[in-house]
Amino acid sequence: MKKLHLLALVATIMLGLSGCEKVKVENVASADVFLKTIKNTQGVTVYTTVHSVFSYNKMSTVSVTSPGGSTILLQNFENAGYSFFNEPAATDYSATQPVAGTYTYTVKFNDGEEKIYTNSLSSSAILPANITALAKTANGDSVYIKWDAITSTHAYQLKIMKGTTQVYYQPAFSDASSPLKSSLRLAFPINTVTSSGTGTYTFELTGLLFETTAYDYLQAISVSSSDIPL
């Protein structure tokens, strides 16, 4: 998910003209749609859309209408009404890219006000990273992940999971070398990774492509993962 996630939100505050007047905070939200690409269990590259709506004002419902006219309700998964998004299921992915175009978001705030937002999806996508190695170092004190660089990616982020528990998060980072490297590598001390005890750990690598060089709204992400027993 997105914040997963990297939204920019400008909150406009309307102040009363005197100390006796009630301060009103304007309802403002930020809506984004982006492509998510993975490889399914059969090794086929598949796509879906992810929607994210965020506000500093509580929202009660959020729906999104596709360019084709179909409408879905977004779920309030967290933050008590400040963040709505969809968590794609396996059946939401397709070998065909989703329809590009303008998606329309209908946001109803807790005070009853309703506002409309739009965000456009293009056909630009990035492929999941090819993870070439996930292993302990020769002396056994660290574990490293190595992958082939993804063409056109602006940045990467990494999560390390043990089951459903996140044990490490690497915020978005980019390859600043010139020329760009053909492969990248990250290493972590074993005791940092295995803070939750021994077992199987999943390294989830996400590539990020933004809509513009402002690096606020996402255009596409791709996700690859690999497991290692530690």
Q: Is the pTM of this model over 0.85?
A: no
pLDDT of residue 23: 55
Residue 171 has pLDDT above 60, yes or no: yes
- Binned at pLDDT 50, 70 and 90, residue 203 comes out as very high
What domains are there in the chain, each with its CATH number? 13-121 (2.60.40), 131-208+216-229 (2.60.40.10)
pLDDT of residue 130: 96
H or E element: which one contains 190? helix 190-193
Question: Which is higher by pLDDT, 166 or 19?
Answer: 166
Q: 128 exposed, middle or buried (CB, 10 Å; 0-12, 13-18, 19+)? A: buried
On whether the CB atoms of residues 4 and 171 are closer than 8 A, the answer is: no
Calculate mean pLDDT across residues 31-41. 95
On whether the CB atoms of residues 105 and 7 are closer than 8 A, the answer is: no
Residue 131 has pLDDT above 80, yes or no: yes
Per the prediction, the chain carries an average pLDDT of: 88
pLDDT of residue 34: 96
Residue 7 has pLDDT above 60, yes or no: no
Calculate mean pLDDT across residues 118-146. 95
Question: In the chain, what percentage of residues exceed pLDDT 90?
Answer: 75
Residue 11 has pLDDT above 90, yes or no: no
Calculate mean pLDDT across residues 173-180. 91
Distances (CA, A) of 193 to 108, 143, 173, 185, 227: 41, 8, 19, 16, 13
Residue 141 has pLDDT above 80, yes or no: yes
What are the tens digits of pLDDT across the range 69-107? 999 999 987 668 999 999 999 999 999 999 899 999 999
pLDDT of residue 24: 61
Residue 65 has pLDDT above 80, yes or no: yes
Residue 162 has pLDDT above 60, yes or no: yes
